[in-house]
Structure 1
Amino acid sequence: MAARSGSMRRYLLQRLALVVPMVWVLVTLVFLLMRVAPGDPVSAALGGRLSPAALAARRHAAGFDKPLVVQYGEYLRDVVTLNFGQTLTDNRPVREVLIDNGGATLTLTLAALIVAFAVGLPLGRRAGRHRDTPPDVGIRLFGIITYAAPVFFLGLILQLVFGVFLDWLPTSDQAGPVVQAEVPTRTHILLLDALLAGQWNSFVDVLRHLILPAVTLGLLLAGVLIRLVRVNLIQTLRSDYVEAARARGIRESDVVGRHAFRNALVPVVTVMGLQIALLLGGAVLTEETFNWPGIGSQLVNYLNERDYTAVQGIITVFAVAVVVVSLLIDVVSAVVDPRVRY
């Protein structure tokens, strides 16, 4: 028992030690990439709108007239203190933008994960259990299409079918304008705010608006999940302990469900942590397609305005979020599978 706890503690310390250099490399790359373009961010965002004197004042206030090394040191200090500066176009704290729009992105991401697991796990299990049969071929084809199809294209198809032709679901925004005006803001998560306020009609309205973007983004991840579950289940079904269970006369459904499928999910958990970046990247396109008021849509707006300060802050948060989620996935994998930490 002491050996197990010691190995787990050692594994956690190793992973935590790797987080710092990973985050440092990511934020450094963000800083450098934002400064590759010619000129300075203030001129890029506000050039032509302000006089040269006003531009120089804004440039000095933002610190862009300082040497690059000094800017880098201040940038690292601000990242550590969670101070991402002011946006150049609307002069808002980037942290305020993240708080106001982060709830919508979090809602979409979690809903997409639910869709991905609800679709990917059962289909991957069925494909792995019935290998090289017509259902397996159909499921594999479905997984390839959902993964390969551009997110915006899939979103437009769903909007056209379920929003225009069938008129079942709304095709844009997080909720109706009346709902957005009536629901009091407490957590910046509209679905949760409607629930806390006891406004059930508003809660249903937000859910209806969430379905199409969540399905669009969830199917992207479901295509990856189907393939992972199928391949790992096929390998697990060939293992000795599964053959031993069959030899004891255990029903095939129990062999697959109780023995093979659970063990097949262990490597899936590890790999799925690496898909968080894919999910966040897909969220940007999904939010833009469905006019979803999340961080991704704000990022696109700031990119169009060439607001480098806002873009730098948002991408930094995305990068840190990917690292933190990867760390959590590693910890979960070590708990589920003791072989990981040895």
Structure 2
Amino acid sequence: MTRFASGSLPRYILQRVLLVLPMIWVILTLVFVVLRVAPGDPVSAALGDRLDDEALDQRREALGFNDPIVVQYWDYLVSVVRLDFGTTFSDNQDVLEVVRDNGGATLSLTLAAFVIALLVGIPLGLIAGRYRDTVPDVLIRLFGILSYAAPIFFVGYLLQAYVAGPLGLPTSGAAGVETVFYMERDGLNRTHILLIDVFLSGNSYYIEDVLKHLALPAVTLGLLICGVFIRLVRVNILQTMQSDYVEAAEARGIAPTKVTWRHAFRNALVPVITVIGLQFALLLGGAVLTETTFNWPGLGDKLVGYINERDYVAVQGIVTVFAVAVVVISVVVDIVNALIDPRVRY
């Protein structure tokens, strides 16, 4: 009985997992409604200039767009449960295969950007909070505001123009032509995640080439949320430095550096972990612009292409995958947060 008592970790995890289903259902419903309220129908929007009226009507009938909206909605939910996201209009590919082939590039970019944001944002936030109202604090806060407010494509173009040349970094693509050719020829694309595949290959040239291509897009996207982490850590460092246990540690003669790192810093990280899920969603949104700016072969770049082609089926499938990924990551973050801070469970 005490196993699932109020405040127990298993009970909290069960509650969060059970909430996933209604959250995903709401997201699927919103995606379906938003794409259906647009004028016309998906077939006419994507193929209206390529087929005559009779062929268009046959295509609508085959795809079920002539059915009542309730029937379409039910078929859509059933297909998603079966992991069947349909076939794209523009290039006749299975949407799930598009996600598989391009999702690895987006995942690599997102995770690299997230690591950069943490490595830059958390130490700077700590310094700003530790040395409040000093020159470093003012400069760090200004940097945080600019990094968050600057448009992604603008930052990307600046890095391409003024950083890529001096450092010898590529400005487009996920890898050089030679790396892609030999990886495919030797059958080294095992996971569909190029960053993992090159490390598994053990070839230093491939690894260096992929990391060079990843550098500028990851920095551009990482700066998007770097300012969020700076602000969060700074504010919470200031709050924890004024708490009773920190004052008690200082009264016992513990060095200020140890007080900051052992007492204030650890507690200041709890709110950062809480918002990781939200920032992951922000990164996925930013990945669309970043991939377009750097011609990065990920889902964001494919999504923009399908939007331009007015390929509703492809757009619907990719947006659904993005949304479900955000929900799952948010639940995982909530569980990790509950492990770190037991107060979250109540």
SS in 2 for 1:203: helix
Alpha-carbon deviation of 1:195? 2.0
Alpha-carbon deviation of 1:191? 1.8
2: distance between equivalents of 1:14 and 1:3?
10
Alignment of 1:156-167 (within 5 A): 156-164=157-165, 166=166
Alpha-carbon deviation of 1:45? 0.4
1: distance between equivalents of 2:56 and 2:295?
32
1: distance between equivalents of 2:116 and 2:164?
19
Alpha-carbon deviation of 1:340? 0.5
Q: How far does the alpha carbon of each residue in 1:43-68 deviate from its partner, in whole angstroms, 9 at most, with x for none?
A: 10011112222222222222111111
Tell me if the contact between 2:7 and 2:345 (Cα under 8 Å) persists in the aligned partners. no
Alpha-carbon deviation of 1:271? 1.6
Q: Which moves more between the two structures, 65-74 or 47-56?
A: 47-56
2: distance between equivalents of 1:62 and 1:3?
47
The TM-score with structure 2 as length reference comes to: 0.96
Alpha-carbon deviation of 1:4? 7.8
Structure 1 portions without partners, runs of 5+: none
Structure 2 partner of 1:128: 129
Structure 2 partner of 1:21: 22
Q: Which amino acid aligns with 2:101?
A: D
Structure 2 partner of 1:87: 88
Alignment of 1:46-125 (within 5 A): 46-125=47-126
The TM-score with structure 1 as length reference comes to: 0.97
Structure 2 partner of 1:170: 170
Alpha-carbon deviation of 1:334? 0.5
Alpha-carbon deviation of 1:8? 1.1
Q: CA RMSD in A?
A: 1.4
1: distance between equivalents of 2:164 and 2:83?
40
Q: Which amino acid aligns with 2:303?
A: L
Alpha-carbon deviation of 1:2? 5.5
Q: Which moves more between the two structures, 250-259 or 190-199?
A: 190-199
SS in 1 for 2:133: coil
* Identity score, percent: 64
2: distance between equivalents of 1:185 and 1:126?
42
2: distance between equivalents of 1:211 and 1:237?
36
Could you tell me which of 236, 247, 250 is aligned with 1:246?
250
Structure 2 portions without partners, runs of 5+: none
Give yes or no for the alignment of 1:182 onto 2:182: yes
For these two proteins, the number of residue pairs brought into alignment is: 341
Cα pair distance change 1:199/1:57, threshold 3 Å: farther
2: distance between equivalents of 1:44 and 1:2?
55
Alpha-carbon deviation of 1:300? 0.2
SS in 1 for 2:15: helix
Structure 2 partner of 1:148: 149
